Amino acid sequence: MRFVEVDGVRVHYREAGSPEAPTVLLLHGFPSASHQFRGLMEQLADRFHVVAPDYPGFGHSDTPDVEYSFDWLSEVVEGFVEAIGLKRFVVYAFDYGLPIGLRVATRRPEWIAGLVVQNGNAYEDGLSDLAKDFIENGPAPEVFTLPCTRSQYETGVSDVDAIAPDGWTLDQHFLDLPGRKEIQAQIARDYRSNVELYPVWQKWLRDHRPPTLILWGTGDPFFTDAGARAYLRDLPAAELHLLGTGHFALEEKLAEIAPLVADFALRTSG
C-alpha cells in the first residue's frame, strides 16, 4: 500500500508500471475508489506508468474533518500529482473523476497530454431525470446502502452474471466505515457546483482541444449517452465508443476498453 501526504492529508494510491513510461492518471467515481481500476491497471502496466489515488473520504485515504467539496477534492488531487512528481499524463476520468479532473485541467493545462472520458458528464444533455433529481434534492439515505451500491454495478449491463461482486462489496465496506456516509452526502450535495461549471469546462475543451477518447456505457441510469455525444460539439476530433453496458463499464467491458485506452495513450504520448 502506498501513501503520500498532501497538505496534512494521507492519500492512498495504487501504482504500477515503470515511472519512465508514459503516465496514465486514473480518477475514480462514486462510491468507489482506486480498486475500481485494478483490472485496467493490470492490462496497462506493461507499457505505461499507471497511478490511481483514493480521494479523501474514499478508499484507504484519510477522512479529515473539513468541508468536503469538489473544489477541495480537486485541490488534493492537484497536490497529489505534485507530491509524486508527475509532469504530463493522460487522465482517465470516470464519474466524479470527470469534474475533479477538469478542475485540475483548467488550472494546470500543461499537465494534460490527453483525456479519456468514461461516463463522466460535462453537459446538461447527459443528465437523466434520476441524475437531475439527485442534483436538485440531494441523495436519499438509501443511496448509501448495499442494494443501491450493487444496482450501480448491475443496472444497464448486458450480462449480470459477468459482474463480479468484489467491486460493490468493497465499496459498501468503505461506505459503512464511521463518518463515511456523512462525508459522501456532503460531496453529493455539492454536485450542483459541477453543473454550474459546465460552460467553463466546455470553453476550456474548445480552447485547448485536448486529444480525447470517450467511452460510454449506454445503460447508465445517471448519465445518458447524449452526454457522450455532446462532447463532439466542442471536440469534433474526439474518438467516441458507445458500449452496451452500465455505469461501471470496466466491470463488463474491460477486454474492449483496455486496448482502446492503450492505443490512445500510446498515440497521445508519442
Clarify whether 247 is annotated catalytic: yes
Residue 270 confidence (pLDDT) above 90:
no
Mean pLDDT of the chain: 97
Helix (H) or strand (E) holding 98, with range, is helix 97-107
Residue 208 confidence (pLDDT) above 70:
yes
3-state helix, strand, coil in the chain (%, to 5): 50, 20, 30
Tell me the three cell numbers of residue 265: 495513450
pLDDT tens figures, 88-136: 999 999 999 999 999 999 999 999 999 999 999 999 999 999 999 999 9
CA separation, residue 55 to residues 45, 63, 85, 174 (Å): 22, 9, 18, 12
Strand partners, 11: 4
Residue 170: partners with Cβ closer than 8 Å, 6 or more residues away: 33, 35
Residue 190: partners with Cβ closer than 8 Å, 6 or more residues away: 68, 69, 70
Domains and CATH numbers, the chain: 1-269 (3.40.50.1820)
213: number of Cβ within 10 Å: 23
pLDDT tens figures, 7-27: 999 999 999 999 999 999 999
Tell me the three cell numbers of residue 45: 502496466
Closest CA to 163 of 269, 254, 69, 35: 254
pLDDT the model gives residue 66? 97
pLDDT tens figures, 139-173: 998 999 999 999 999 999 999 999 999 999 999 99
Closest CA to 121 of 217, 224, 8, 196: 224
pLDDT the model gives residue 262? 98
State the Cα–Cα distance between residues 127 and 220, nearest whole angstrom: 10
Are the CB atoms for 2 and 61 separated by under 8 Å?
Answer: no
Strand partners, 90: 24, 114
Tell me the three cell numbers of residue 81: 500529482
First to last CA, the chain: 31
Q: Is the backbone of residue 9 left (phi > 0), alpha (psi -120 to 50) or beta? A: beta
User: Phi and psi dihedrals of 154, rounded to 5?
Assistant: -100, -25
State the Cα–Cα distance between residues 120 and 17, nearest whole angstrom: 26
Look at the chain and count its residues.
270
State the Cα–Cα distance between residues 121 and 256, nearest whole angstrom: 21
Tell me the three cell numbers of residue 50: 499507471
Residue 147: partners with Cβ closer than 8 Å, 6 or more residues away: none
State the Cα–Cα distance between residues 151 and 157, nearest whole angstrom: 10
